[in-house]
Amino acid sequence: MISKERVLEVLQQTGVLLEGHFLLTSGRHSDRYLQCARVFQYPDYAEEFCQALAAAFQEEKIDVCIGPALGGIVIAYETARAGKTRAIFAERDQQGVMALRRGFSIAPGERVLVLEDVVTTGGSVREVIELVRKHGGQVVGVAALVDRSNGQVDFGVPFQALISLDVASYDPDDCPLCRQGIPAVKPGSRR
């Protein structure tokens, strides 16, 4: 597995860690945001990171790698490439529910690895897990570049992140940045 020092070095080098007042996809607020798309600007880093994730699950005989759009697309693709398997992604339908679109499918019994760039509460990952199971797939694990849940998230399957970072997040009603009058920005992919 890739060292945590190496992962942190690359994240810092590529400007992934931002500071300010951010509204997270989960609805929580934070003074730091991880814009992992920035690391995926560099195919060599994407390859290095995703090879490590694929290696962590190589004994699972993965059939399909899936990630939630938008953050999980590149990581699912690169991990599938490293593991020599198929890659698909889930995206929200018009009702805002995770769905398989664009002709993607999961056959009953297929062994599926769910991938995400950053896990905070695990909400998007849980939606994808539910979607995979609805289609008859067997979720054998979850992988991410960064676990910012402080080890609190439990998906009921093995979970592997390249690095775990202790990044505080706040309920909007108890946010010290809001109390200071600092405007929150939403840098994520969901509107």
Q: Residue 8: which of 148, 163, 149, 161 has the closest Cα? A: 163
pLDDT (tens digit per residue) in 71-92: 899 999 999 999 999 999 999 9
Using DSSP bridges, classify how beta strands 159-164 and 138-147 pair: parallel, antiparallel or unpaired. parallel
Question: In 87-163, which residue ranges form alpha helices assigned H by DSSP?
Answer: 123-134
Helices 43-56 and 4-13 pack at an angle, to 10 degrees, of 150
The answer to whether the CB of 114 falls within 8 A of the CB of 141 is yes
Gap between the Cα atoms of 134 and 117, Å rounded = 23
Provide the residue ranges of all domains of the chain, joining segments of one domain with +: 4-179
The topology (CATH level 3) of 4-179 is Rossmann fold (3.40.50)
Gap between the Cα atoms of 137 and 116, Å rounded = 18
Name the pTM for this structure. 0.87
Hey, how many other C-beta atoms are within 10 angstroms of the C-beta on 86? 17
Q: How large is the average pLDDT for residues 127-135?
A: 97
pLDDT (tens digit per residue) in 28-69: 899 988 888 999 999 999 999 999 999 999 999 999 999 999
Output Rg (C-alpha) for the chain, integer angstroms: 16
The answer to whether the CB of 106 falls within 8 A of the CB of 22 is no
Where residue 190 falls among pLDDT bands split at 50, 70, 90?
low
Q: Residue 114: which of 155, 148, 84, 146 has the closest Cα? A: 155
